[in-house]
């Protein structure tokens, strides 16, 4: 073989080898490309699936937020399946009072290779409840020139309800029964306010009888007619079985003073007693509801019928004891730093303190006006004014800041204000429920009224656009709504 032929064969072999190498490299590139493509497709599929699961979990939290705006305590756990996804929502208390709820939304699903999940958490709170605010809507709906009787319920007590607090579509009514051994706290289902009778979910006997109630989360704080236990704490997390958890005796009451009024704000209970040998106004820390302790107290030397607190000021409606020289029916107390003591800011005495006394109050949410309702020992005394309106922007000068007053003819047992109307619970026969137009405090007039059939015995509360009143005899709780 000559040299040229050898060179030709060598070139051909090299070309073949190069072609084989090129084909090998190409196969590797193609294989790698296919693997990468399929890998990206799997990653993309996982990403889309995870995104859908995340959206499903977030949707669950949003549904809980929407329900909580209507009623924080109506939230319940749930499990929902949607295609390959299963969503499990769990609810737990985020604080000791149950005013905040920890919501956990977990979505699980499975792929060809492994089970997967995504979990989201949020805390939902109701700040108005923490402040002890009412749950009544400020906006008026319907025809309140024509109020209507809705549902009602009776309880085993001829004394009727002494107070009522409504929250989360449940009404908590307390009574001071004449006979011992009778149940004195009742939980009523008012989800349908038109039912007659309204369903009683549960009841409990706490002892001598109750005069006031304020429900916060899973506890009801009640003022008891007992010199040896003026404050009681009742667990109401299970409405069918309320349980008395704590009875607390006020250490600064020597004798005579029983629980008569109660108010809650920011994990503090403000308790008023009847006239006592000792003090009548008490500030009690309930940061741990089952271990309450008195922070401070103040001697008033009168029975306290109503308390409301805002921005470090306690407004106290009192029943003057003229024989002892006490005639102030309304007191403003500085309670901003109770550890350093309580001081009197101002007081108001009406022109007729002998026949009338402080009975009820309502402080607007803005804190600029205080509505003061008075009781009447002698309804035959004419020209006494039972409803006063004060400018409350300066609590130290309320006594000289009256914006107007009016004679309604009888005691104002309880009082709620919405927009330009004041809702009054009175003892007037056939006019127990009255609505007054208060647009001009100097010229207030009767807007409408309703015969609630039984005399007023206790408190009044409102939730949403419905009013709840406590009464005597066979309608301990009566619900009132607007006309169509």
User: 188-204: per-residue pLDDT in tens?
Assistant: 999 999 999 999 999 99
- The residue that leads in pLDDT, 323 or 372, is 372
CATH of the domain at 340: 2.130.10.10
**455 shares a domain with 318:** yes
User: How far is 165 from 402, CA to CA, in rounded Å?
Assistant: 29
Read off the pLDDT of residues 336-357 as tens digits, 9 standing for 90 and up.
Answer: 999 999 999 999 988 776 667 8
pLDDT for position 115: 84
What pTM does this model have? 0.78
Q: Element (H or E) spanning 279, and its range?
A: none
User: How far is 11 from 441, CA to CA, in rounded Å?
Assistant: 114
Residue 453 contacts by C-beta under 8 Å, 6 or more apart in sequence? 149, 432, 471, 475, 478
User: How far is 56 from 117, CA to CA, in rounded Å?
Assistant: 11
C-alpha 18, offset from chain centre: 84
- Residue 403 phi, psi (nearest 5): -95, -15
- Residue 311 phi, psi (nearest 5): 50, 45
Read off the pLDDT of residues 114-171 as tens digits, 9 standing for 90 and up.
Answer: 788 889 999 887 655 555 556 778 788 999 999 999 999 988 776 778 999 998 889 9
In the predicted model, is pLDDT for residue 32 greater than 50?
no
**82 shares a domain with 143:** no
* Confidence category of residue 384, pLDDT binned at 50, 70, 90: confident
In the predicted model, is pLDDT for residue 2 greater than 80?
no
Burial class of residue 422 (count of CB atoms within 10 Å of its CB; 0-12, 13-18, 19+): buried
**458 shares a domain with 340:** yes
**319 shares a domain with 204:** yes
Closest CA to 441 of 394, 393, 406, 415: 406
Burial class of residue 388 (count of CB atoms within 10 Å of its CB; 0-12, 13-18, 19+): buried
Residues in the chain: 484
Interior angle at CA 72, CA 69 and CA 77, nearest 5: 110
Read off the pLDDT of residues 45-67 as tens digits, 9 standing for 90 and up.
Answer: 577 888 888 899 899 899 888 88
Buried/exposed code over 267-276 (b: 16+ C-beta within 10 A; e: otherwise) = bbbbbbbbbb
In the DSSP assignment, the letter for residue 48 is H
Q: Domain boundary at 97, 125, 153, which?
A: 125
Say if CB 338 and CB 283 are below 8 A apart: yes
User: How far is 240 from 220, CA to CA, in rounded Å?
Assistant: 14
**364 shares a domain with 288:** yes
Residue 335 contacts by C-beta under 8 Å, 6 or more apart in sequence? 270, 283, 296, 309, 312, 313, 314, 342
Q: Element (H or E) spanning 134, and its range?
A: none
User: How far is 248 from 130, CA to CA, in rounded Å?
Assistant: 22
Residue 211 corresponds to which tokens in the numbers above?
């005069």
Say if CB 255 and CB 276 are below 8 A apart: yes
User: Domain count of the chain?
Assistant: 2
SS3 content of the chain, % helix, strand, coil (to 5): 20, 45, 35
**363 shares a domain with 214:** yes
Residue 431 corresponds to which tokens in the numbers above?
């006019």
Say if CB 329 and CB 352 are below 8 A apart: no
pLDDT for position 35: 40
How many other C-beta atoms can be found within 10 angstroms of the C-beta atom of residue 433? Answer: 23
How many other C-beta atoms can be found within 10 angstroms of the C-beta atom of residue 65? Answer: 13
* Host domain of residue 220: 129-483
**105 shares a domain with 210:** no
Most confident of 116-120, 208-212, 246-250, 426-430: 246-250
* Confidence category of residue 475, pLDDT binned at 50, 70, 90: confident
User: How far is 170 from 235, CA to CA, in rounded Å?
Assistant: 14
**201 shares a domain with 110:** no
pLDDT for position 96: 56
User: How far is 247 from 64, CA to CA, in rounded Å?
Assistant: 35
Say if CB 231 and CB 219 are below 8 A apart: no
**106 shares a domain with 38:** yes
* Confidence category of residue 455, pLDDT binned at 50, 70, 90: low
Q: What is the mean pLDDT of residues 384-404?
A: 93
Q: Domain boundary at 74, 103, 125, which?
A: 125
CATH of the domain at 27: 2.20.25.110
Q: Domain boundary at 100, 125, 150, which?
A: 125
- The residue that leads in pLDDT, 446 or 471, is 446
**443 shares a domain with 336:** yes
* H helical segments located in 104-210: 127-130
**121 shares a domain with 62:** yes
Residue 20 corresponds to which tokens in the numbers above?
């084989």
* Confidence category of residue 36, pLDDT binned at 50, 70, 90: very low
Beta partners for residue 317, in sequence order? 306, 330
Most confident of 95-99, 270-274, 357-361: 270-274
How many other C-beta atoms can be found within 10 angstroms of the C-beta atom of residue 43? Answer: 10
Indicate if the alpha-carbon torsion angle 453, 459, 460, 463 is positive or negative: negative
User: How far is 245 from 247, CA to CA, in rounded Å?
Assistant: 7
Residue 385 corresponds to which tokens in the numbers above?
């004014």
Residue 122 corresponds to which tokens in the numbers above?
């949020």
Residue 451 contacts by C-beta under 8 Å, 6 or more apart in sequence? 430, 431, 432, 433
**143 shares a domain with 108:** no
């Amino acid at each position: 073989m000559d040299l040229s032929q050898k060179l030709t064969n060598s070139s051909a072999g090299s070309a073949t080898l190069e072609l084989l190498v090129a084909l090998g490299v190409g196969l590797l590139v193609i294989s790698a490309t296919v693997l990468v493509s399929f890998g990206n497709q799997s990653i993309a599929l996982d990403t889309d699936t995870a995104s859908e699961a995340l959206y499903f979990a977030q949707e669950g939290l949003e549904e809980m937020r929407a329900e909580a705006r209507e009623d924080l305590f109506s939230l319940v756990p749930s499990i929902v399946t949607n295609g390959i996804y299963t969503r499990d929502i769990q609810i737990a208390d985020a604080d000791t009072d149950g005013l905040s709820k920890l919501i956990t939304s977990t979505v699980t699903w499975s792929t060809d290779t492994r089970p997967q999940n995504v979990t989201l958490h949020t805390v939902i709170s109701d700040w108005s409840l923490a402040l002890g605010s009412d749950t009544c809507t400020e906006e008026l709906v319907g025809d309140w020139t024509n109020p209507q009787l809705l549902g009602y319920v009776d309880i085993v007590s001829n004394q009727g309800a002494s107070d009522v607090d409504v929250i989360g579509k449940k009404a908590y009514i307390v009574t001071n029964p004449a006979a011992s051994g009778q149940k004195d706290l009742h939980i009523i289902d008012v989800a349908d306010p038109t039912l007659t009778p309204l369903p009683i979910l549960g009841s409990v006997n706490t002892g001598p009888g109750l005069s006031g109630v304020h429900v916060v989360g899973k506890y009801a704080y009640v003022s008891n007619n007992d010199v040896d236990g003026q404050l009681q704490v009742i667990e109401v997390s299970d409405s069918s079985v309320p349980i008395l958890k704590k009875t607390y005796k006020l250490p600064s009451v020597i004798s005579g003073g029983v629980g008569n009024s109660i108010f809650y704000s920011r994990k503090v209970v403000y308790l008023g007693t009847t006239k006592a040998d000792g003090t009548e106004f008490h500030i009690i820390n309930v940061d741990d509801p089952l271990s309450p302790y008195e922070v401070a107290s103040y001697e008033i030397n009168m029975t306290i019928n109503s308390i409301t607190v805002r921005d470090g000021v306690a407004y106290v409606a009192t029943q003057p004891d003229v024989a002892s020289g006490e005639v102030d029916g309304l007191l403003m107390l500085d309670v901003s730093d109770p550890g350093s003591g309580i001081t009197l800011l101002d007081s108001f005495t009406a022109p007729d303190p002998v026949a009338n006394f402080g009975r009820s109050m309502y402080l607007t949410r803005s804190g600029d006006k205080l509505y003061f309702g008075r009781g009447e020992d002698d309804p035959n005394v004419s020209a006494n004014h039972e409803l006063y309106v004060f400018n409350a922007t300066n609590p130290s000068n309320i006594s000289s800041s009256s914006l107007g007053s009016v004679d309604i003819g009888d005691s104002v047992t309880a009082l709620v204000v919405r927009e330009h109307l004041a809702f009054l619970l009175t003892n007037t026969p056939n006019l127990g429920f009255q609505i007054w137009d208060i647009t001009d405090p100097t010229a207030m007039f009767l807007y409408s009224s309703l015969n609630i059939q039984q005399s007023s015995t206790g408190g009044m509360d409102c939730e949403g656009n419905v009013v709840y009143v406590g009464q005597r005899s066979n309608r301990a709780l009566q619900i009132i709504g607007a006309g169509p």
